[in-house]
Structure 1
Amino acid sequence: MTRPSILLRAALDSDILWRFRQAPAAIVALALLLVMLFCALAAPLIAPHTPFDPSTLNLMDSRLPPAWIEGGSTSYLLGTDEQGRDVLSTIFYGMRISIAVGVAAVLLSVLIGVTLGLVAGWFGGWIDALIMRMADVQLSFPTIMIAFFIDGIAKSVMPPDLREMTRFYVVILAIGVADWVQFARTVRAATLVEKGKDYTAAARLSRRPVAAIIFAHILPNTLGPVIILATLGLGVAILTEAILSFLGLGMPPTQPSLGALIRVGNDLLLSGEWWISMFPGLALVLLVLSVNLFGDWLRDVLNPRLK
Structure 2
Amino acid sequence: MSASNRKPQDYGKVAVLLGGRSAEREISLLSGNAIYNALQDAGVNVVKVDPVDGLYEQLNGQQVDRAFIALHGRDGEDGVVQGFLKSIGIPYTGSGVASSAIAMNKLFSKQLWQQVGIPTAQFRTVKKNQLFTDNDARALFAELGSILFVKPIKEGSSVGMSKVATSAALLKAIQLAHQFDSCALIESYITGKEYTVSILNGEALPSISMQTPRDFYDYEAKYKSTTTEYFCPSGLNEMDEKIICGLAVKAFGALGCSGWGRVDFIRDGDEGEFLILEANTVPGMTESSLVPKAANAKGMSFQQLVLNILDTSFEHEDFSDV
Q: Which has the higher strand share?
A: 2
Task: Judging by fraction of residues, say which structure has more helix.
Answer: 1
Query: TM-score if structure 2 supplies the norm length?
Result: 0.22
TM-score scaled by length of structure 1: 0.23
